[in-house]
Amino acid sequence: MSKSALPEGKSPSQMIDGRISELGDWRGELLSRLRALIKQADPEVVEEWKWRGVPVWEHAGMICTGETYKSVVKMTFAKGASLEDPSGLFNSSLEGNTRRAIDFHEGDRIDEQALTALIRAAVALNTAR
């Protein structure tokens, strides 16, 4: 879903607010926490709403997505395979040459320091071009 496909009068940030609210469970709470960490790690981040309703965070290119499924919240880093991950946060989509993801399940603890470093590394990679 491109920006032009947004419902009239709705911003990507409002659509993400709506997604968090409509989930109404641990997934919404987790997506909200991840969103706050992304914004804290990169105050210049731009929120987008793409494809079939996927929250996307960008800065000089895509940083990551925040997909929600029945039993997981998936944070996919567009260029994750190019990022150092010393804390071993990536636990999904490890076989690809480009993307890497972190699957969060109900009750998982977020290593905020390591995740913030990963987000900042993704921004640095995007802005280094």
pLDDT tens figures, 54-80:
999 999 999 999 999 999 999 999 999
For residues 70 and 38, what is the distance between their CA atoms, to the nearest angstrom?
A: 23
Give pLDDT, residue 4. 46
The least confident of 91-95, 102-106, 124-128 is 91-95
Is the confidence at residue 1, as pLDDT, over 80? no
Is the confidence at residue 122, as pLDDT, over 50? yes
List the structure tokens of 38.
């992304």
Task: Determine contact, residues 50/2, Cβ cutoff 8 Å.
Answer: yes
Give pLDDT, residue 5. 62
Quote the mean pLDDT of the chain.
93
Task: Determine contact, residues 33/39, Cβ cutoff 8 Å.
Answer: no
